[in-house]
Amino acid sequence: MSSTEATDPGLSATTASTAPEDAGGPVEYALTGASRAIFTLDEEVRGTPTTVVGTSTIVLGEMLFDPSDNASLQIGTILVNGRDLTTDSGNRNRAIRGPILDVDTFEFIEFTPTSIDGFDGTGSSFTVTGDLTIRDITNAATFEVTASLDGEVVTGTATTVVDRTQWVSTFPTPPVWPTSPSR
């Protein structure tokens, strides 16, 4: 995977969380199998600009929230399994899992929240800032979150833009196919 752009247009997680029925007080929500981590990036392949979309369906995490106390929202570390990241290309998938992310050594991408700003309990928009670890490099990242609570189910999307060169320095160059001379 190679790119003439240094910034990924987006990294997002779409979540669906459920909580057990509870009579009141704090409720723990866990990410379900419906959760996805999705990334998009712009790259140039054989001279053609391309937007790549990749997905991991293995996303783990929990949050704790007391609906009677809006300030009680706590979000635990979110883990995205790098071995599950897939795009539209087997070659790209091997490059992502191999030299780019080295998932044999660093299986999970981790986001550990350090602050939540603007959450008012109504399930509107807010930000979550924390430490994003890719491979063995950790940098700050802020996600814009839109979420809603419907009974026992929380649904939402968290999105950020990252400069991938802050985390990963290995980007394989795709092959350049020679052109045939005109006759």
Asked whether the predicted pLDDT for residue 19 surpasses 60, the reply is: no
pLDDT of 124 over the 90 cut: no
Is residue 67 left, alpha or beta, with left meaning phi > 0 and alpha meaning psi from -120 to 50?
A: alpha
Rounded to whole angstroms, the Cα distance separating 118 from 71 reads: 10
Cα 1 to Cα 7, 129, 171, distances in angstroms: 14, 28, 6
Check: CB of residue 179 under 8 Å from CB of residue 34: no
Q: In CATH, what number does 7-166 get? A: 2.40.128.110
Among 13, 129, 143, residue whose Cα is nearest residue 81: 13
Q: pLDDT tens-digit profile of 129-165?
A: 999 999 999 999 999 999 887 777 888 899 999 887 8
What's the pLDDT at 2?
A: 28
Strands 7-18 and 27-31, sheet pairing: antiparallel
pLDDT of the residue at 12? 47
- Domain ranges in the chain are 7-166
Q: Which two tokens stand for residue 120?
A: 């008012």
Residues 70-121 have pLDDT tens digits of 788 899 999 999 999 999 999 889 989 998 899 999 999 999 999 999 988 7
CB-CB contact of 21 with 169 (8 Å): no
Q: Name residue 87's amino acid.
A: T
Residue 172 pLDDT > 50, yes or no? yes
Coil, helix or strand at residue 95: helix
Q: What is the pLDDT of residue 20?
A: 52
181 confidence band (pLDDT: 50, 70, 90): low
So what's the pLDDT on residue 1?
30
Q: Which of 124, 107, 116, 96 is nearest to 39 (CA)?
A: 96
Instruction: Residue 58: count other Cβ atoms within 10 Å of its Cβ.
Output: 18
pLDDT at position 183 over 80:
no
Rounded mean pLDDT of 53-75?
88
Residue 62: left (phi > 0), alpha (psi -120 to 50), or beta?
beta
User: What's 86's DSSP letter?
Assistant: B
What are the tens digits of pLDDT across the range 25-49? 788 888 888 899 999 988 887 888 9
The pLDDT of residue 177 is above 70 = no
